[in-house]
Amino acid sequence: MSNSIPKNRKTSRRQKWRKNLIPITKTESAEMTTHLSNVAPDLQNYLNAIGEPEHPVLTRLREKTGHHRMGKMAIAREQAAVLVWLAKLIRVEKYLEVGVFTGYSSTALALALPEHGRITACDINVTFTDTARQVWNEAGVAHKISLHLQPALLTLDDLIAQGEAGSYDLALIDADKPPTPQYFERCLKLVRQGGIIAIDNILLNGRVMREAASDAPPSVGILKDFNQNLPNDTRIVPITLPVGDGLTLLLKK
């Protein structure tokens, strides 16, 4: 039986996705940051200096992205370092990324994966991912990465329909915040038992603690509810690390 999805079904799914989408506001985008305000830059620089050296390709990309008008959307160097460390610890061979931006985390993970390792990358922005493609080629890892340029929920559903459930070792959710619960549920299906789901910007620069959901943009309320439900979810073992804008790690039981 073919795994392909009829064109009219794909169109219907895209229309449904657009109808239900809660777009992130300019204010929310500005609030997303790669660093927590209570970590002094000199301390973070010291911590980075005593960790694994940053690959030159990643250094150049980080500096370039830092000058981008949307540069705050980039994953923090220390967050990517945590993911690379985890990938080596659990011997990741198959990695799923929701939200690519300019490609820092996907490049870092591709460099860490074995030669036969594979990455499925999801994004909708051609301009951002053109930069990522250039970096993948520069780093010599483009052959490990499959980029899907469509709404990530569609790609995740396609992967599940194609029998990919339980086949990924590690997943990163670092995309628009309102669909985070939906991204999580799909990634939970796609990640194997003992695999890890990582979620970035889980603190929204502290807004999930400071603001009442009724007075805040949709992302704040959605993430507050999502965070509060994690301890009672018997399918996972959750922990949130105070690196970057908060990095939640979910171990699938």
Query: pLDDT tens for residues 206-240?
Result: 899 887 767 788 899 999 999 999 999 999 999 99
Q: Where are the domains of the chain?
A: 24-252
Q: Does this model's pTM top 0.85? A: yes
Q: Does residue 249 contact residue 187 with C-beta atoms inside 8 Å?
A: no
User: Radius of gyration of the chain from Cα atoms?
Assistant: 18
Q: What is the pLDDT of residue 30?
A: 46
Tokens 């979620």 locate to 199
Tell me the average confidence (pLDDT) per consecutive run of 10 residues in the chain, 253 residues long: 43 50 45 61 91 96 90 91 98 99 98 99 97 98 98 98 99 97 99 99 90 81 96 98 95 99
Q: Rounded distance, CA 107 to CA 138, Å? A: 10
pLDDT 10s digits, 108-142: 999 999 999 999 999 999 999 999 999 999 999 99
Q: What is the pLDDT of residue 21?
A: 44
Please name which of 4, 199, 194, 163 lies closest in space to residue 91, comparing C-alpha atoms.
194
Q: What is the pLDDT of residue 210?
A: 86
Q: What is the pLDDT of residue 231?
A: 98
Strands 236-241 vs 247-252: parallel, antiparallel or unpaired: antiparallel
Given 3-state DSSP classes, what are the helix, strand and coil percentages for the chain, each rounded to the nearest 5?
Answer: 50, 15, 30
Residue 238 gets which letter from DSSP?
A: E
Q: What is the pLDDT of residue 44?
A: 87
Please name which of 125, 129, 124, 127 lies closest in space to residue 105, comparing C-alpha atoms.
129
Dihedral sign, CA of 224, 82, 70, 183? negative
The topology under which CATH files domain 24-252 is Rossmann fold (3.40.50)
Could you tell me the maximum CA-CA distance found in the chain, to the nearest angstrom?
58
Q: Rounded distance, CA 160 to CA 72, Å? A: 31
